[in-house]
Amino acid sequence: MILFVGLGNPGSQYEDTRHNIGFKIIDKLVNDFSARDISKNSFHGKLYRAANTLFLKPTTFMNLSGTSVQPVKHFFKVELEDIIVIHDDIDLPFGAVRFKRGGGHGGHNGLRSLDTYITKEYLRVRVGVGKPEHKSQVSDYVLHDFSQDEVSMLDALIAHVAEACKVLSGEELNEVKSKYSLKSIEGLTL
């Protein structure tokens, strides 16, 4: 069983924010796989399934994401190496895409929560959203919508990351990295 987790915040006011790129990619995957909703209150999130693949959007707010992932992991007996977390990353320029297993949370509250509840060795799909000029602006920045220029490229970026996710379960990580990693949105053929 593979579990894809998209990090984000529930609620329409957060729908188009940088912090919710993980939710947007999960929505694309759910649509592409025609996955069905199997959510339960105990999962603290929207959970979808297609064959042996699960797609989770925690509804706990970002800083409590682990309280959603942990019960899903246990209920479906998902191995840690089969958990793939898709999240925004301010340390990467907008449109950059990176893949890695384990590592630090880099100040990301969603990852911090996951590390606490399921340890750090899950696979991460890091999607660059750019960073503000000053460190003090980070929380405001990630909770704001993408710029008009970014919005025009967002569908292509989401489609690219969704394609990478589809092959992640069947190919070696290094293979996926070489095919799907991007340095910036310019690396994506629109």
Mean pLDDT of the chain: 94
Beta bridge partners of 98: 126
Cα distances (angstroms) measured from residue 64 to each of 59, 60, 148, 154: 9, 6, 30, 26
pLDDT attached to residue 106: 87
Tell me the average pLDDT across 6-33. Answer: 96
CA 142 vs CA 56, 88, 145: distances in Å: 21, 8, 8
Give the pLDDT mean for 37-61: 97
| Residue 190: per-residue pLDDT | 55
Instruction: Output the pLDDT for position 189.
Output: 64
Q: Which of 19, 44, 87, 108 is catalytic?
A: 19
Q: Is 44 a catalytic residue?
A: no
* 145: β partners: 17
121-151 confidence digits (pLDDT tens): 999 999 999 988 888 888 889 999 999 999 9
For 62-103, write each residue's pLDDT tens digit.
999 999 999 999 999 999 999 999 999 999 999 999 999 998
Q: For residues 62 and 190, give the distance between their C-alpha atoms in angstroms, rounded to a whole number.
A: 30
Residue 171 has a pLDDT of 87
CATH number of 2-187: 3.40.50.1470
Look at residue 174 and tell me whether its pLDDT is greater than 90. Answer: yes
Q: How far apart are CA 166 and CA 162, in angstroms?
A: 6
**163 Cβ partners below 8 Å, 6+ apart?**
180
Q: What is the pLDDT of residue 134?
A: 83
Mean pLDDT of 22-34: 98
What are phi and psi for residue 184, nearest 5 degrees? -165, 180
> Is residue 119's pLDDT more than 90?
yes
